[in-house]
Structure 1
């Protein structure tokens, strides 16, 4: 990662991590940009924490499309403090904590960023910024996934890929609801999964037999896709009880369903985290000047939990 001024004469003001061109990590740069006043329906946020997701890498590589002209600001979820309000925003005050997503094209790996009011919710004072920043993507995905696939108390849910940020939270929701959880993942994820009450099975060729040995499965939530999904779908009698967030095309072809994202669930997720009903597993934090290392940890799949960038550090 380099630190430089943005191209085309951008003025100084606030640091942001961008992709100077679509491609690999060598395209990442920490640059300076103006602190822009919020327009109608917008809020200027001083970012305190921004969580890293595999989707950040995909955006940098152009896998979500390349129509946006570089430099492309990076970062998809944040927690921060309101610094200025758009002229029509009347239900927040300067100094309020908020959680959510940056305005399209604004980026969360930044000292300041703009958000649309509709894309953030108030942050409870008791909820730390680093934890709150993990909720807009992984937290809402876990919430939607569990509520779509919920097999009910006393029944068994298989989570394919339980060791990631979404799977970790799904396991918490399911166990709290009285659902038995069997989860697959790399061996390095065993201790964390078992601490949540998950019956853990190491991913690989022997996983199907091990899952079958663990007892009947009533529903499957797929967070891994590929061969893992195609193999493990065999454990459930009713393919309609299979939901995939990772490989929806394959899931539908196998008789299952794609994950459906619900609207307006972030407030529920934030409240659950503030009350201690959801506990995101933040395992690494980096200052903004080391954001490249944070992305590399996620890109290399070395993260045991959620990785968070702290622009104020």
Structure 2
């Protein structure tokens, strides 16, 4: 094979990877494109600038639709799905700009100095998460289709004592927000452990499962407004919080504190910081408790 032919083969292989929705190259490309578009504030653009931004967004949406349809649809089917995606994106662009403005305002009210960077990072991370979720759904569907004996190896366990005490402490500091129903759920719940990068290492999150006939909390989809904060990273904070889904306890999680700014987050990650460096769950007594209000987090006495 000549050098020119070799380059052509490599180029074609690279292009196939870029359009393969299961490849890392495709994930990086589409996530970077979505993040780059989110960096631009449509409210600060001229009419022509907003038109170009909307066109760019439509092109990215169309490319993603084309690639996602590639494994299962004919060329004509992919063209139809791509056209529909581009058309829907353009039709909803006004609503998209309104949502962007609300998100931008929300981030700015938190005192963050680079709100567009935060929104761009969030958009890119969401894209990566969407790809990962899609691959997991595809894998589960394939397992169900081709293996009738497929069984989920993750079995519920008794809720660890430290986790139960943390959840109880968070729920005890609020009477509203579905707290009574969530306390009833906790009494009957079991835990689903998540795996860390290394087998046996701590993972800063744990899920819950429970009988279906228990009372449901309202709001049904939310982060419980009471959080706990402690300082495990050389004085830097970490927040412990509960997620609610479908009116049920979904998971207990630890994340970097909301009092970090963007520069601190980036520097910490560049230094190799990870929540999985934590030795385990904190005790409920280690936490300082806050409640979320319209003015931000307020300490609880």
TM over 0.5: no
TM-score w.r.t. the length of structure 2 is 0.23
Higher share in strand: 1
> Larger helix proportion, structure 1 or 2?
2
Higher relative contact order (CA 8 A, sep 6+): 1
Larger Rg: 2
TM-score with structure 1 setting the length: 0.22
